[in-house]
């Protein structure tokens, strides 16, 4: 495993490219066009270049391709009553996600023996069991769900809730405080990204782990406590500059920061899983990750 390398800090000032023209949008809802096709391609690319993680990344590519295939179907499902989702998910109100999970199990059930066994468990599970798994996953009660099932449950929830978020009228979404919880569905962040192009060029947006909504947060500020003091950046030696950990010495949390200027195809879910070594080293340094990737529960 590569070692940890400190590559910058808040004391060095604002990086080049951090200024933008005009007022950027606070929220960026998922596009109506499927967000999963590019993610699947990114997983495939990363599987080819990360030998130690190739099997898992390839499986995630298969899973995300199924998400893409289901996208148009779930754009037709009714929106929740409120049409503005402002609290953590209540799965009982949106049973469509269970249909997505069973379709995923059907599509991937002919895979390897371990994957086939997990898909069979999904097919045999009652609605109550499925809801229990989802509740445990979204509330970060990871002891209540088999780690092998978690990516499949997460994928089904993501298809359902990303399709809801994509159809919201952004003009009707009231501006609320955006921290490390999604202002649309209340879920945890997965990572933050430096964007390119137009009014968002050089700005940092945080990505929701569930509905893929992005919201703007200032650069060189801790997303957890808001401090701009003693914010440092760490990366894996020899791994390039596309993915770093932004770490706060005050509250000892970190968030991955992905830079699309350095790698245009970087993806908050795929590149996060491809840089698990960075998470291990940050924990060894005494930092706790803020948020998590639903496709791989911590400690699994």
Residues near 288 by beta carbon (within 8 Å), at least 6 away in sequence: 252, 253, 254
pLDDT at 19: 44
pLDDT beyond 90 at 186? no
Q: What is the mean pLDDT of the chain?
A: 88
pLDDT digits (tens, 9 = 90+) for 110-130: 989 999 999 999 999 999 999
pLDDT digits (tens, 9 = 90+) for 94-106: 678 999 999 999 9
User: What is the CATH number for 21?
Assistant: 3.90.1670.10
pLDDT digits (tens, 9 = 90+) for 208-227: 999 999 999 999 999 999 99
Q: Are residues 164 and 62 in the same domain?
A: yes
User: Per DSSP, which regions of 101-239 are E strands?
Assistant: 189-194, 204-208, 214-216, 231-236
Q: Domain end: 122, 146, 171, which one?
A: 171
User: Per DSSP, which regions of the chain are E strands?
Assistant: 4-9, 27-28, 189-194, 204-208, 214-216, 231-236, 243-248, 253-259, 288-289
Does residue 15 lie within any of the structural domains? yes
Q: Are residues 115 and 240 in the same domain?
A: no
pLDDT at 176: 59
Q: How is the chain split among helix, strand and coil, in percent rounded to 5?
A: 40, 15, 45
Domain count, the chain: 2
Q: Are residues 123 and 201 in the same domain?
A: no
Q: Tokens for 101?
A: 């999970």
pLDDT beyond 70 at 80? no
Q: Are residues 127 and 233 in the same domain?
A: no
DSSP assigned state of 10: G
Q: Tokens for 70?
A: 């289901």
């Amino acid at each position: 495993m590569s070692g940890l390398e400190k590559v910058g800090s808040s004391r060095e000032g604002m990086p080049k490219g951090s200024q933008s023209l005009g007022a950027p949008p606070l929220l960026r809802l998922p596009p109506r066009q499927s967000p999963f096709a590019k993610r699947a391609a990114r997983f495939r690319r990363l599987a080819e270049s990360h030998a130690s993680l190739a099997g898992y990344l390839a499986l995630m590519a298969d899973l995300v391709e199924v998400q893409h295939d289901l996208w148009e179907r779930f754009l037709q499902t009714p929106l929740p009553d409120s049409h503005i989702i402002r609290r953590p998910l209540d799965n009982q109100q949106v049973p469509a996600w269970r249909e997505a999970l069973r379709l995923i199990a059907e599509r991937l059930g002919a895979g390897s023996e371990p994957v086939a066994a997990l898909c069979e468990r999904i097919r045999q599970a009652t609605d109550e069991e499925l809801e229990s798994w989802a509740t445990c996953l979204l509330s970060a009660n990871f002891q209540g769900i088999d780690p092998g099932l978690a990516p499949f449950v997460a994928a089904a929830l993501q298809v359902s809730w990303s399709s809801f978020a994509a159809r919201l009228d952004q003009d009707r979404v009231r501006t609320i405080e955006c921290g490390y919880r999604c202002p649309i569905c209340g879920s945890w962040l997965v990572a933050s990204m430096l964007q390119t192009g137009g009014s968002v060029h050089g700005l940092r947006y945080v990505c929701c782990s569930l509905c893929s909504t992005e919201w703007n947060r200032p650069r060189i500020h801790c997303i957890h406590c808001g401090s701009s003091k003693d914010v440092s950046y760490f990366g894996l030696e020899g791994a390039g500059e596309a993915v770093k950990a932004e770490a706060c010495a005050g509250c000892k949390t970190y968030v991955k920061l992905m830079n699309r200027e350095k790698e245009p195809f970087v993806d908050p879910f795929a590149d996060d899983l491809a840089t698990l070594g960075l998470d291990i080293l940050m924990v060894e340094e005494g930092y706790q990750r803020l948020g998590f990737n639903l496709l791989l529960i911590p400690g699994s």
